[in-house]
A and B are shown apart, each in its own frame.
Chain A
Amino acid sequence: MSTTIPPQERPRQAARPDRPTPARNRKTGTGRHSQRWLAWVFLAPTILGMGLFTLIPIVASVVLAFFRWDIISAPSFVGFNNFAEVVQDPTVRVSFLNTIVFVVVAVALQLGLALALAIMVQEKMPAWLRVFFRSAFFFPLILSAASVSIFMRYLFNEQFGVVNWLLSLVGIPAVPWLTTPGGSAAVVILVYVWQNFGFSFLLFIGGLASIPVETYEAASIDGATGWRKHLHVTLPLLSPTTLVASVMAIISALQVFDQPYVLTRGGPGDSTRTAVMVIFESAFQRLEFGQASAIGVLLTLIIMAITAAQFRLSKRFVFYQ
């Protein structure tokens, strides 16, 4: 450095050019290394855990679908036999059929109800009332499906249930809800929709909020009112949300288990047995782990096919702004 600088100022001056040097070193050399090193340390719990408890089980599940195994004796390779047996098994067939009917009816009800309520809540009303409705519709989501099914079983009791008591007030005779196939299927659907419509409702509320007010103003200038306004403005503009909501609703409905298990145990007969209940029963009650895996693989394939189909359909029907 220069000799003109007084000695007492020298350290300060010297420190300035010195300081960035180690920092620059870290950035280019050791910095990169320590970043990469740190990244793998940070990822370790998630990646190891997922590998062990998700990725390996996925592969194992597919492999297991080609074996016969009851845990006790050694597994034996049986090729596609498990799939052939499963596809021909009347209980499995009925259960998949039940699941499809359940998904169609429950998802239609859930989305229709959620959309209608979301549109009604978004229109003019006092703010406190809107907050109340939103919280009320959201509320069932925080409960456990098992608890809900427990109290719903009492509410739908044929003799002492509140539902039949309410129906008797308007002169409808007692409905045998949980003792007939049709009644049981209806209860499972109603209980499921009761608990889950709030999720679709939330999605629709978010979607409605993103539609610009000017669109509605333009529509009213063109003379659209009431339901026509919703038919021609809300529905097309909401279609991206509707797609997401329906994909999520269908995927979760395909996996229904808690409600039918607690409400009906799949009965009467096989009338409310679902695909996941059959996986559960063949694995953990009959110890046919290979068959259970085969059913699981089929269910996953159905879920993937539906997801793919919906996104393909969306290209044709969904209107993106």
Chain B
Amino acid sequence: MTTTTEHGLASGPTPRLSAGLPAVRTNRRRFSWNTALRVILLLIAAALTLGPVLWTLSTSLRSPSESFKLPPSFIPWNPDFTSYGQVFQQLNIFLLVLNSALVTGLIAVGQMVSAALAGYAFAHLKFRGRGALFSIVLATMMVPVQVTIVPVFMLIRGMGLSDTLLALILPAIPTAFGTFLMRQYFLGLPTELAEAASIDGASPWRTFRSVYAPLAMPGMAIVGILAFNFHWNEFFRPLILTISEQNFTLPLGLVSLQGNLGTGSISVVLAGVVLSMIPALVVFMFGQRALQAGLTAGTGK
């Protein structure tokens, strides 16, 4: 943490501030001091935010015997991949990744399709009870998953799906928030498109399939990215709905690995944590804007 801050101060904004602000006015100098103080505080906050993640990465690249050692490392100078080998031995990580990918992928695709269809119906199709039905869909967002988990667990048992991946997938596909997002998205597209299509003799289905659905891809991508981020990281439902280790998802497997090892070899557990972060990192790098747009959608902005 300290290293990051010092590093940031030394090479970061300070030279830029002095270079970027020629002494045109007398109060410019005082202003730049304010800016410097502000940037220092922000750098400290950023170091505290990123520090733990950097420590996780560099500790996972220490050899298991050195992972306890203080001072801690924040930058992996001599990467040692022993822990990554060991995490593959101690944990059936292929299976965990496969389970997580299957569950997350199918939920994401299921949400994208079902939310696009329902969102389109609420936005552009006329039917009796549309407003009331949409209000009910929105109202379900207020009920926390923990409150419905007991009956969902019973239902899954009754359907003969307990301790299967489908138990995780099926209940997560209907999405109130995704439907809301897609409705907003379709409402943002001009209605003239539908009119033009119907004058050309297109059926309502063709209007959706050939005119609106292709235009809705960016909205569907937001729904998919949100679903991916949420369900890849999900812990509560898998903890309850899966029993045998062969159906565990990554977060569950990692927590049980830490439990088994106690404080044994930090670096092995952390290697698993780092591996589980990779897909999230990819989303962060390529879908950050979509993710931010989706997370803050419907908050009055």
Contacts and interface: CB of A to CB of B under 8 A. Distances in A.
The 5 lowest CB-CB distance pairs between A and B, nearest first, are A49-B174, A144-B233, A57-B151, A60-B151, A57-B148
Interface stretch (B77-85, B87-95, B137-145, B216-224): B137-145
Contacts of A32: 126
Nearest to B173: A49
Interface string B27-40: 00000001100110
A182 to B, nearest CB: 21
A23 B151 contact: no
Contacts of A74: none
A147 interface: yes
A147 B174 contact: no
A319 B128 CA distance: 38
Contacts of A125: 13, 35, 38-39
Contacts of B210: none
Interface stretch (A1-9, A212-220, A229-237, A289-297): A289-297
Contacts of A87: none
B121 A42 contact: yes
Contacts of B153: 283-284
Contacts, number: 295
Interface of A: 20, 22-23, 26-27, 31-32, 34-36, 38-43, 45-50, 52-58, 60-61, 64, 71, 113, 117, 120-121, 123-126, 129, 132-133, 135-148, 150-155, 157, 160, 162, 165-166, 169, 194, 198-199, 202-203, 206-207, 210, 226, 240-241, 244-245, 248, 251, 254-255, 257-258, 261-262, 276, 279-280, 283-284, 289, 292-293, 296-297, 299-300, 303-304, 307
Given A255-B146, A299-B144, A23 B115 contact: no
A150 B258 contact: yes
| Contact residues of A: prevailing secondary structure | helix
A139 B53 contact: yes
B246 interface: no
Contact of B174 (A53, A117, A137, A169): A53
B72 interface: yes
A17 to B, nearest CB: 15
Contacts of A142: 229, 233, 280-281, 283-284, 291
A39 B121 contact: yes
A258 B236 contact: yes
Nearest to B46: A136
